[in-house]
């Protein structure tokens, strides 16, 4: 009888240990999967952010280059039409056409006065 009880206790101890080991394995596997999921999500977010930043920078550079090229062409045209000497005077004349700056007198004449409206 004592031997049977000892075997029963040994079996119970074995199964208890087995349940603990299986539980630990399950916990470790779940933790590993969670870590992998977190790493994948972080990598995806970083890649998306980098791609968005690169696209925004490229768009800004392209728009700035197009705007600069347009300003250069318009300034050259204004200079050729008005006879303004130099890009700064051409820009001032162009701004006056838009309405920000007005001229009194003749453009490029010694007595011309520039005032802000």
Contact status, residue 114 vs residue 107, Cβ threshold 8 Å? no
What local confidence, expressed as pLDDT, does residue 94 receive? Answer: 64
What local confidence, expressed as pLDDT, does residue 116 receive? Answer: 44
What local confidence, expressed as pLDDT, does residue 84 receive? Answer: 62
Cα(92)–Cα(116) distance, integer angstroms: 11
Tell me the angle at which helices 87-98 and 2-82 cross, rounded to the nearest 10 degrees.
100
Q: pLDDT tens, position by position, for the chain (117 residues)?
A: 777 787 888 888 888 888 999 999 999 999 999 999 999 999 999 999 999 999 999 999 888 888 887 777 777 776 676 666 666 666 666 666 655 444 555 555 554 555 444
Contact status, residue 105 vs residue 112, Cβ threshold 8 Å? yes
What local confidence, expressed as pLDDT, does residue 92 receive? Answer: 67
From 77, 79, 55, 59, select the one nearest 67 (Cα to Cα).
59
């Amino acid at each position: 009888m004592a031997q049977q009880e000892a075997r029963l206790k040994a079996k119970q101890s074995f199964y208890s240990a087995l349940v603990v080991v299986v539980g630990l394995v399950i916990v470790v596997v779940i933790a590993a999967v969670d870590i992998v999921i977190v790493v994948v999500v972080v990598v995806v977010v970083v890649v998306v952010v980098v791609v968005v930043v690169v696209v925004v920078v490229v768009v800004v550079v392209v728009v700035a280059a197009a705007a600069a090229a347009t300003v250069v062409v318009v300034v050259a045209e204004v200079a050729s039409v008005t006879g303004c000497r130099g890009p700064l005077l051409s820009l001032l004349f162009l701004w006056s056409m838009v309405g920000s700056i007005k001229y009194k007198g003749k453009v490029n004449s010694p007595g011309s006065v520039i005032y802000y409206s």
